[in-house]
Amino acid sequence: MLADYAVQVEQSRGRRYPEPPHAYRNDFQRDRDRVIHSRAFRRLEAKTQVFTRRYSDHFRNRLTHTIEVAQIARTVAAQLGLNVDLVEALALVHDVGHPPFGHAGEKALDAAMRKHGLFFDHNLHALRIVEDFELRYAAFRGLNLTFEVREGIIKHSRDYNAEQFPELEEYLLDQRPPLEAQLIDVADEIAYSTADLDDGFESHLLAIDDIREGVPVFARFYLEVEGLYPDAIEKLEFNETLKRVLNRWVDDLITNTKAQIQAAGIHSLDAVRLSPLRLVGLGKNAEQERKATKQFLYDRLYYSPALDAEKEDAERVIHELFDFWMQKPDTLPASHREKSQQEPLARVICDYIAGMTDPYIYEQYGRFVDR
């Protein structure tokens, strides 16, 4: 049974292009499946999360990160009485708009666009993917996802102003997103905060003593694990500790969100939408722990000198390819040349690059620039 504040699939605002119901899958389940079978979803397997494959192939990529977010979000959604099908669809689609090379690629692509009075936003790009770029159906462009999934793509992690983004007006920008969408943002934060500690430790860029010093919640659980497993090797002590950190945050997210829903007197989806604040979140202490962990990762991992060469290489490749196609648009694929007749060339190039995997963008760079 779903909670009274959950999104009921029967009350969905529907698809842009009406379709007959499926015999045994509801609309959110169909959306989930459409995302899984999309080309953009498959490409996540070859897109950087933090470490490129040239560093190692043992670490998370965008696809494995997405799967971890979905696992956490499903677990929490079930405990809160939310619509698990909608949550899973949103979790699986939440990163399809990211370009190659992780945040370094996003930064470079946005900088390239700013030179032409435009910008890059991975949420907006994800919406363009599911609305236009995916070509799988004869009756319409895109995946024809339900309103609730499209709304969640836009609103799960940030708010957009209707005056600044009039093209998004249909997505109720003056209202909060449903709890299912709010959950994705927090599940994402929890997933990458713990996963990046793991990959940082595996890469030997983060030492156990440094993590214990910089991440208090980790240090607290590590003492517990040492007492329970005094003869375990360091890696297994690390694994046991990180598992406890993850469990601590998920437990807190469930407990605190329930409390916030109850305190706000939320008994309907409309009440969620009209709430002055987002209702899904960690409690004060757990949120401080998460923020401290995130700051540690920025200080010691994301901006580690050991990763500078990879990030600089990524930014150079994107900037030089972008500039090349701005100067020689005739070398773009035919479909993109056609699009440039209706849209700014910079936007067309941005869309093309954002859809590339790490290996493919290097292939294009070698073909057109580094010859």
Q: What is the pLDDT of residues 33-89, one digit of tens each?
A: 999 999 999 999 999 888 766 556 678 999 999 999 999 999 999 999 999 999 999
The pLDDT of residue 342 is 94
Structure tokens at 257: 């969100």
The pLDDT of residue 55 is 59
Spatial neighbors of 359 by CB under 8 A, at least 6 apart, are: 46, 53
pLDDT band per the 50, 70, 90 thresholds, residue 175: very high
Q: Where are the beta strands (DSSP E) in 175-310?
A: none
What whole-number distance in Å separates Cα of residue 47 and Cα of residue 62? 6
* Residue pLDDT, tens place only, 211-242: 999 999 999 999 999 999 999 999 999 999 99
Distance of alpha carbon 319 from its chain centroid, rounded? 23
Q: How many CA atoms lie within 13 A of 133 on its CB side?
A: 21
The pLDDT of residue 53 is 60
**Contact yes or no for 93/149 (Cβ under 8 A):** yes
Number of other residues whose CB lies within 10 A of the CB of residue 113: 19
Rounded to 5 degrees, what are φ and ψ at 279? -105, -15
pLDDT band per the 50, 70, 90 thresholds, residue 352: very high
Nearest to 67 by CA among 101, 32, 100, 97: 32
What whole-number distance in Å separates Cα of residue 24 and Cα of residue 200? 43
pLDDT band per the 50, 70, 90 thresholds, residue 189: very high
What whole-number distance in Å separates Cα of residue 370 and Cα of residue 287? 46
Angle at 251 between CA 249 and CA 255, to 5 degrees: 115
**Contact yes or no for 66/44 (Cβ under 8 A):** yes
**Contact yes or no for 154/123 (Cβ under 8 A):** yes
Domains and CATH numbers, the chain: 9-307 (1.10.3210.10), 310-368 (no CATH)
**Contact yes or no for 99/105 (Cβ under 8 A):** yes
Which residue type does 252 have? D
Q: Can you say whether residue 14 is alpha, beta or left, with left for phi > 0 and alpha for psi between -120 and 50 degrees?
A: left
Q: Can you say whether residue 204 is alpha, beta or left, with left for phi > 0 and alpha for psi between -120 and 50 degrees?
A: left
Nearest to 128 by CA among 348, 357, 359, 360: 348
Angle at 120 between CA 272 and CA 189, to 5 degrees: 45
What whole-number distance in Å separates Cα of residue 219 and Cα of residue 214? 8
Average pLDDT for residues 93-99, to the nearest whole number?
A: 97
Rounded to 5 degrees, what are φ and ψ at 168? -105, 10
pTM, to two decimals: 0.96
